[in-house]
A and B are shown apart, each in its own frame.
Chain A
Amino acid sequence: MKTNRLTLLIKGELLRLHKYNVVFISIFIALIWGVVLFFVDSVIFNALLPFLILVDATMMSLMYIGSVMFFEKKESTLSSVLVTPVTNQEIILSKILANTIHNLFSTSLIIIVFIFIKDVKINYILMLLAIILVTAVFTGLGLLLSYFQKDFTTMLTNLMLLMFAFLLPSALYGFGVLKADVWEYILLLNPIQAAQEIIMGGFRAVTLDWKYYFSLGYLIVGGILTYKFLIVPKFNAYAVSISGV
């Protein structure tokens, strides 16, 4: 793998996120949340901010990579990249990394807005780690999901259903509706719950417990295994099928 080629691909991806207005949309969404959160009172705010970061790093990651893949599908551009010396791994990594960079930027925007207008205590290092890890894992999952979706609308619908199914228990637990102890263990296997654990770790008031370390390990190991055994091997067939030429 040539690093300068990877860098070129990442730059290309970022430029396209900009040209295809994905960057604009993400800034717009961050600002809307900024306005909403500005007006809620501090109790709700304290529960909502982590939830928002979670949604941004998980669901929005899936959405952004999904839309990128569908732009490519619509214009068959992946086939032109397939006939350059670039390897499949370089293509995949550049997409995951570029989208992680992009989402890191948009999530950070939400946080930065609040550091200025509200009194938020954040452990920057842990928060950065959390956002990067969660975004990278979910971008990878989004890439994998897009392999199996026929068109953009179907993908959006499926994503919404999937996210709802995954987010609901975590949200209920987060807002204190689900209280039973077993949930604590069951929910940890849900990648979104794991994501929530490590994002919460980024707030200074929260002390790190075994759940934090478990989730951290779960996402790192799970992410690497998914990449190695699903995202990479299934990419070629997918790329050829959407090349449409």
Chain B
Amino acid sequence: MFKVENLKFKYANNNEDVIRGINFEIKEGEIFGFLGPSGAGKSTTQKIIIKILEDYRGNIFYQGKNLKDYTNEFYEDIGVSFEMPIHFSKMTAMENINFFLKLYKNNADVESLMKRVGLWEHKDELVGTYSKGMKIRLNLVRALLNNPKMLFLDEPTNGLDPTNAMILKDMIREFRAAGGTVFITSHIMADIDQLCDRVAFIVNGEIKEIDSPRNLKIRYGKSVVMVEYQENGETVKKEFLKQEIGKNKEFLEILTTKEIETIHSGETTLEDIFIKVTGVKLADEN
């Protein structure tokens, strides 16, 4: 759907590139996650591929055609949600929606969208009085107004409580199930882990790794079993590889001879892998 080749970008007021030659492809029907710490260049990349920042180097193709050859009709195809919720605060949700809706040829069913995000009862309230979670949900509604083929979501779960984050993630999955393609950025791994078909790790304007979360876990992860037991009146903690654990003598001996306090298995998280691959810590959880 999207093909990005050797993309480089420099802001006019900086002297160094903030995107340093990245390559990636977004396949039709997938949720593609763009993960990286603050300042890595996630939002910049999104702004480039949605045709807002224009003076980039390298090539970008959308459905086989150079992005530069598209007119503004390109926007009939896509839906965008920015990092900040953006609305006219002195207008109601519905006034906001109606303004944007009519600018498109293709119109979604607003009532069902608004009901889906739980904002239908609040449709006639001023957006300025909305909570942050409501504004972010309204953002998603706006991104879906034109029944887009592709969604671009910049940190969509940032600042959402678990319930709202869940609604949002469910909607993103439904969008994919209906044939849509999604580009999603985040600096919080856990949010995206279960959602994405493939993820790219971006650090300092460079992509360090691209693969499915599953493959990454197979390649970089290790499954372990952790045991805590009593020995000479003290708690001892040991870790064993899960692979062929039934043949591990030490493990079996502990099980049969010691008093076990806790025992559980652990998977490597995407966050662990990120740190392992890039050597950079992702984010202070907020």
Contact = CB atoms under 8 A, between A and B. Distances in A.
Chain A bound to chain B: yes
Interface of A: 5, 8-9, 12, 15-16, 19-20, 75-77, 79-87, 236-237, 240, 243-245
A61 to B, nearest CB: 22
B84 interface: yes
- Size bracket, chain B contacts: 20 to 34
A5 B78 contact: no
Given A83-B50, A243-B52, A77 B103 contact: no
Interface stretch (B89-97, B116-124, B217-225): B89-97
Nearest to A78: B86
Interface residues of chain A: helix, strand, loop or mixed (majority): helix
A8 B103 contact: yes
Given A80-B142, A83-B50, A86-B72, A75 B103 contact: no
Contacts of B84: 76, 244-245
A85 B103 contact: yes
Give the residue among B52, B72, B84, B103 with the most A Cβ atoms within 10 A.
B103
A19 B88 contact: yes
A77 B53 contact: no
Interface of B: 12, 43, 47, 50, 52-54, 72-73, 75-76, 78, 80, 82-84, 86-91, 95, 99-100, 102-105, 142, 154
Contacts of A9: 103
Contact of A84 (B43, B82, B91, B100): B100
A19 B91 contact: yes
29 contacts: A8-B102, A12-B99, A15-B95, A15-B99, A16-B90, A19-B88, A20-B90, A75-B88, A76-B84, A77-B86, A77-B88, A79-B86, A80-B80, A80-B82, A80-B100, A80-B142, A83-B75, A84-B75, A84-B103, A85-B72, A85-B103, A85-B104, A86-B72, A86-B103, A237-B12, A240-B52, A243-B52, A244-B84, A245-B83
B103 A245 contact: no
Contacts of B86: 75-77, 79-80, 245
A85 B75 contact: yes
Contacts of A243: 52, 82
Contacts of B142: 80
Contacts of B80: 80, 83
B88 A5 contact: no
B90 A19 contact: yes
A197 to B, nearest CB: 39
A2 to B, nearest CB: 10
Contacts of A82: 52
Contacts of A76: 82, 84, 86
A87 B105 CA distance: 14
A83 B78 contact: yes
B95 A83 contact: no
Contacts of A79: 52, 82, 86
Contact of B82 (A12, A20, A236, A245): A245
